[in-house]
Amino acid sequence: MRDDGVSAEGLLAWYDGHARALPWRVPPRSGLRADPYRVWLSEVMLQQTTVAAVKDYFARFTTRWPTVDDLAAAADGDVMAEWAGLGYYARARNLLACARAVVARHGGVFPSDLAGLRALPGIGPYTAAAVAAIAFGRSEVVVDGNVERVMARVFAVDTPLPAAKPALTALAAGLTPDQRAGDYAQAVMDLGATICTPRNPACGICPWLTGCAARQQGIAASLPRKAPKVEKPTRAGTVWLARREDGALLLERRPDRGLLGGTLGFPGDAWDGAAGLAPLVSDWAAAGEVRHTFTHFHLILSVQTAQVSQNATATRGEFLGRNLFSPQDLPTLMRKAHDLAFG
């Protein structure tokens, strides 16, 4: 145990009384084992997303597909529709691939070791470490954004991210205990999420208060430092929304690879690198523009609409009635276009 006020034991004692109640967790000291499927599912959903945004999605997924076997047997389109709005759609494709690999290779039982988890599709170093630690009690080093922030402050690391990542991971490894590794990993995450927050950290109630080097130097709120952001470029494009006389809309399934891969959407042009003409000949009218921001660029999309006859034929996509899809099945960008066009 360290004698400077920073120890796994001290943090675990705090966690035992202050752990967040989350639907994929088991309470500390409860004697219960975490379900690897729920741990894995939550970790995939939480990538690039907040806990608040994930809770409802997690509830729907685990109600509809309560086990990894259920998810593995699901139709791709159903999973993509349930994922709509969470973004980063490659995660949903990897989710299905991983579930099917767990069933096909391991009889529906998740591997418990880091190497076995890393061999599954879509599972990277962080997710593998989180599942191994939280679901199986392995002493693995789990480092997310919360952990990086806590380590940067506790040890006063002023090297900007992302260059500081290796050093922060090494510092996290030095604190990771052999016992209760899963609780410890979640404890550091909770510390970062509830006390050692990005802005205005509540240092006065922190269990590592006396040993935090950044607090002693008066620089806690300024860490971790980050390299200057590169300004995102802006792209422009067009999306075509055709509505048939019976109310059916022209939709197409996007390719599995690329932006919004595997999702249902309206035919478009230019913004995602694909070239194409309007999907059918009609009197198109401009409904306005929608704006959306992806990880690497901003998008301005011209929304074109047309009312077409019942026997209209298109070169792309197919007409789907409202009994076959819901606007809520669409990714956020396409939902914005739909709402602009049809209210």
- Domain membership flag for residue 107: yes
Residues known to be catalytic: 43
- Domain membership flag for residue 227: no
Residue with tokens 């059916």: 248
- Asked whether residue 130 falls in the same domain as residue 190, the answer is yes
- Asked whether residue 217 falls in the same domain as residue 268, the answer is no
- Asked whether residue 117 falls in the same domain as residue 218, the answer is yes
Domain boundary among 222, 249, 272: 222
> Where residue 274 sits, what CATH number does that domain have?
3.90.79.10
pLDDT score for 217:
96
For every residue of 150-165, which 3-state class applies, written as one string?
Answer: HHHHHCCCCCCECCCH
Q: What is the pLDDT along the chain (343 residues), one digit of tens a residue?
A: 445 689 999 999 999 999 999 999 999 989 899 999 999 999 999 988 889 999 999 999 999 999 999 999 999 989 998 998 888 888 999 999 999 999 999 999 999 999 999 999 999 999 999 999 999 999 999 999 999 999 999 999 999 999 999 999 999 999 999 999 999 999 999 999 999 999 999 999 999 999 999 999 999 999 999 988 889 999 999 999 999 999 999 999 888 877 888 888 999 987 876 667 899 989 999 999 999 998 889 999 999 999 999 999 999 899 998 888 888 889 899 999 999 998 7
CA distances from 134 to 34, 174, 190, 229 (A): 7, 18, 14, 33
Helix, strand, coil percentages in the chain from 3-state DSSP, rounded to 5? 45, 15, 45
- Asked whether residue 179 falls in the same domain as residue 280, the answer is no
- Asked whether residue 189 falls in the same domain as residue 45, the answer is yes
- Domain membership flag for residue 1: no
Contacts 24+ apart (CB under 8 A), 327-332: 328/81, 328/84, 328/85, 329/80, 329/81, 329/84, 329/264, 330/84, 330/263, 330/264, 330/265, 331/84, 331/85, 331/87, 331/89, 331/260, 331/263, 331/265, 332/84, 332/85, 332/87, 332/292
- Asked whether residue 246 falls in the same domain as residue 211, the answer is no
The set of residues, in sequence order, having a beta carbon less than 8 Å from that of 118 and lying 6+ positions away, is 124, 125, 128
- DSSP structure class, residue 67: S
Residue with tokens 């290779």: 105
In whole angstroms, give the CA distance from residue 214 to residue 115: 35
- Asked whether residue 201 falls in the same domain as residue 136, the answer is yes
Hey, is 232 helix, strand or coil? coil
- Domain membership flag for residue 117: yes
Q: Kindly report the number of other CB atoms within 10 A of residue 90's CB atom.
A: 15
- Asked whether residue 164 falls in the same domain as residue 246, the answer is no
Domain boundary among 222, 248, 265: 222
Residue among 183, 196, 197, 192 nearest 39 (CA): 183
| Side chain identity at residue 311, one-letter code | N
Give the helix/strand (H/E) hosting 235: strand 234-244
- Domain membership flag for residue 293: yes
- Domain membership flag for residue 3: no
- Asked whether residue 212 falls in the same domain as residue 322, the answer is no
Q: How many domains does the chain have?
A: 2
> Where residue 60 sits, what CATH number does that domain have?
1.10.340.30
Domain boundary among 222, 245, 266: 222
- Asked whether residue 170 falls in the same domain as residue 314, the answer is no
- Domain membership flag for residue 167: yes
- Specify the length of the chain in residues: 343
Range of the domain at 107: 8-222
- Asked whether residue 213 falls in the same domain as residue 240, the answer is no
In whole angstroms, give the CA distance from residue 260 to residue 150: 33
In whole angstroms, give the CA distance from residue 158 to residue 177: 25
- Domain membership flag for residue 336: yes
In whole angstroms, give the CA distance from residue 103 to residue 273: 36
- Asked whether residue 216 falls in the same domain as residue 256, the answer is no
